[in-house]
Amino acid sequence: MTDSRHIGFVGLGAMGHAMATTLLRHQYRVTGYDIREEARKKFETAGGNSASDAKGAARDVAALVLMTVNIDQAEAVLFENGALDSLPKGATVVLMATCAPSRVAALSRRVEATGRTFVDAPVSGGVVGAEAGTLTIMAAASQETFTRARPMLSAMGSGLVHIGTEPGQGAAMKIVNQLLCGVHIAVAAEGLAFAEKQGIDPKVALEILSGSAASSWMLKNRGPRMLQQDPAVSSAVDIFVKDLNLVLDAGRSAKMGLPLAALAHQYFLSASGMGLGAADDSQVIEAYRALAKLTK
Amino acid sequence: MTDSRHIGFVGLGAMGHAMATTLLRHQYRVTGYDIREEARKKFETAGGNSASDAKGAARDVAALVLMTVNIDQAEAVLFENGALDSLPKGATVVLMATCAPSRVAALSRRVEATGRTFVDAPVSGGVVGAEAGTLTIMAAASQETFTRARPMLSAMGSGLVHIGTEPGQGAAMKIVNQLLCGVHIAVAAEGLAFAEKQGIDPKVALEILSGSAASSWMLKNRGPRMLQQDPAVSSAVDIFVKDLNLVLDAGRSAKMGLPLAALAHQYFLSASGMGLGAADDSQVIEAYRALAKLTK
């Protein structure tokens, strides 16, 4: 009999590691796997078990959480690496990465055809939210599957919402979330660069904007790093190149033009083209500075 | 000798009325004027005095606050209507409307040449902030003039910042503020309309977005009204047509491209062209709904 508190966790990057260790703190037994040995070691140091391959992380667990970079990696883990075969019948695959809604729906059908259940459960809130267990989780699954997964999901995210019964709806909601997040970062950059161009101290501008009707979560979070030289990387420019691309793909699927998202995407892409793809996403401001002939 | 607590106030619209009555609450004596008789009557009912013309509002006051729709009206009040001649020498003109920075700088020079002082002091925070006295006020004036005006400004706005000593710098900061506000409203509309298009209940979407990293002050404030049929008008679509136009003008003056602001401007303009110019600015979402063939 499978222990309902034994969880497999594949993808121990910054987000995955924080989420998996939050599960440990809630007395879950977690077997983690990441392709990078250093990530597995880090998870062991934090008190987790690590498996030597994805199959091992899926063995004897009640749920297999996938926090991979994208859905291609999630599919590779499940099918090519054999994790799905290794996962007990009746157990649940919980996909928490940001993915295209149509592909999530297709993957869920493929998983459920093998006698496992599926929860589409992308998150918002970053590493800070993952560490604190305060993530927003947008879950889509049948009522029965959701009810079973709820305690584990609640441990990772105090902002858990059951958004619908069809996998893909969580992904669609996350896409809308990323649309706003991406545009909010880009417009914070546009505004702060414009303050600089007009000779306003950007630190004063940021303080005023953060306390006025112009404020956003992203302005307060990314704004300070926009004014730093080479800030620590919380989430990379290329993540938003990818996520806004998913937004635009979903727009094409739904046949809806998304002009602000498309424009913000071009700025993240330009920043990436300036060699800043691996830099903190706040550095999209460098694209604006380049056009306005500003230097830090 | 002029009573330092006697203030003239021209422009008693929704914002002006709320700001002037906040001054009354702080034991200022306020003589108000508005071209509309109904606005003057309303101010009298709230405990203020009203003048029969702009000149009367400027007589024997220590400061003349201008909360007109734009700088053209402010100039008409001061010069054509004779308020500046009526204002005592040494008194202060306090311009609190949203105006082009270059024109504010020119106006301040013209006022100061006549022996009056000038404070450039635009605000953010809406009618709610004006009523509560919690406005953000971005003030630019010489240190001496600012120090003299500070108690009165603090009464209207707990978020008072002395941004610089050159009039025009407050207006420039307000322009950056409106850039973010306008884009935040437009992207909230883009996101909520996209949620609808994908079959997500927009009320659920709004709840999730408001609690996640996708949140903004404008999303929380305007989002609920985007989902209402004919909501009450807090600030009209045409105000953002005007304000984002000022943003783009300031961009041209400073020689800086502002692509997100320009695109958001086109959406407010489109909503205005759909006959929604006088509707609540949250109704910019109708432009997105039109393009996505969505109905409320």
pLDDT of residue A116: 98
Judge whether B132 is closer than 8 Å to chain A, CB to CB: no
Judge whether B206 is closer than 8 Å to chain A, CB to CB: no
- Is residue B160 located within the same domain as residue B183? no
Choose, from A41, A55, A174, A242, the residue flagged as catalytic.
A174
Nearest to B213 among A101, A191, A217 (CB): A217
Residue that finishes a domain, picked among B131, B166, B201 = B166
For chain A, how many structural domains are there in total?
A: 2
Residue A95 has pLDDT above 70, yes or no: yes
Judge whether B15 is closer than 8 Å to chain A, CB to CB: no
- The residue of chain A nearest to residue B185, with distances taken between CA atoms, is A214
In 3D space, the residue among B286, B183, B186, B200 whose CA is nearest the CA of residue A254 turns out to be B200
Cβ neighbours for A187, distance < 8 A, ≥ 6 positions apart:
A264, B179, B180, B183, B184, B187, B260, B261
pLDDT of residue B1: 58
pLDDT of residue B3: 87
Residue A296 has pLDDT above 70, yes or no: no
Nearest to A213 among B181, B250, B264 (CB): B181
CATH number for the domain that contains residue B191: 1.10.1040.10
Residue B296 has pLDDT above 80, yes or no: no
Shortest Cα–Cα distance, B91 to chain A (Å): 27
What are the pLDDT digits (tens) for B69-96?
A: 999 999 999 999 999 999 999 999 999 9
pLDDT of residue A1: 58
Residue A1, domain member (yes or no): no
Q: What is the mean pLDDT of residues A108-129?
A: 96
Judge whether A183 is closer than 8 Å to chain B, CB to CB: yes
CATH number for the domain that contains residue B124: 3.40.50.720
Q: Name every chain B residue with its beta carbon within 8 A of the beta carbon of A261.
A: 190
pLDDT band at A180 (very low <50, low <70, confident <90, very high): very high
Residue B1, domain member (yes or no): no
- How many Cα atoms within 13 Å fall on the side-chain side of residue A121? 32
With an 8 Å Cβ cutoff, are B214 and A217 in contact?
yes
What's the ipTM? Answer: 0.92
With an 8 Å Cβ cutoff, are A187 and B188 in contact?
no
- Is residue B119 located within the same domain as residue B26? yes
Whether A174 is a known active-site residue: answer yes
- Is residue A17 located within the same domain as residue A134? yes
Q: Name every chain A residue with its beta carbon within 8 A of the beta carbon of B206.
A: none
Percent of chain A at pLDDT > 70 equals: 99
Shortest Cα–Cα distance, A163 to chain B (Å): 7
- Is residue A51 located within the same domain as residue A116? yes
- Is residue A31 located within the same domain as residue A161? yes
- Is residue A123 located within the same domain as residue A203? no
In 3D space, the residue among B18, B58, B23 whose CA is nearest the CA of residue B42 turns out to be B18
Residue A215, domain member (yes or no): yes
Q: What is the mean pLDDT of residues B2-28?
A: 96
pTM for the model? 0.92
Residue A164 has pLDDT above 70, yes or no: yes
Residue A271, domain member (yes or no): yes
| Pairing of the two strands B117-120 and B92-95 | parallel
Cβ neighbours for A232, distance < 8 A, ≥ 6 positions apart:
A225, A280
Residue A56, domain member (yes or no): yes
Residue A18, domain member (yes or no): yes
Judge whether B235 is closer than 8 Å to chain A, CB to CB: no
- Is residue A122 located within the same domain as residue A240? no
Residue that finishes a domain, picked among A118, A146, A166 = A166
Rg of chain A over all Cα atoms, to the nearest angstrom: 20
- List of E strands, chain B: 6-10, 29-33, 49-50, 63-66, 92-95, 117-120, 123-124, 136-140, 159-164
Domain limits at A264?
Answer: 172-292
In 3D space, the residue among B179, B181, B177, B144 whose CA is nearest the CA of residue B159 turns out to be B177
- Is residue B162 located within the same domain as residue B50? yes
Q: What is the rounded average pLDDT for all residues in chain B?
A: 96
- Is residue A15 located within the same domain as residue A161? yes
Cβ neighbours for B151, distance < 8 A, ≥ 6 positions apart:
none
Nearest to A217 among B181, B204, B215 (CB): B215
- Is residue A100 located within the same domain as residue A122? yes
Residue B219 has pLDDT above 70, yes or no: yes
Residue A68, domain member (yes or no): yes
Shortest Cα–Cα distance, B40 to chain A (Å): 28
Structure tokens at B96: 């609190």
Nearest to A180 among B172, B187, B255 (CB): B187
Amino acid at position A67, single letter: M
| Torsion region of A293: left, alpha or beta (phi above 0 gives left; psi -120 to 50 gives alpha) | left
Q: Name every chain B residue with its beta carbon within 8 A of the beta carbon of A173.
A: 195, 200, 204-205, 208
Percent of chain B at pLDDT > 90 equals: 95
Phi, psi of B50 (to 5 degrees): -125, 145
Choose, from B174, B203, B242, B255, the residue flagged as catalytic.
B174
pLDDT band at A234 (very low <50, low <70, confident <90, very high): confident
- Is residue A192 located within the same domain as residue A237? yes
- The residue of chain A nearest to residue B137, with distances taken between CA atoms, is A208
- Is residue A286 located within the same domain as residue A144? no
Residue B293 has pLDDT above 90, yes or no: no
Q: What is the mean pLDDT of residues B108-132?
A: 96
Residue that finishes a domain, picked among A105, A137, A166 = A166
Shortest Cα–Cα distance, A159 to chain B (Å): 8
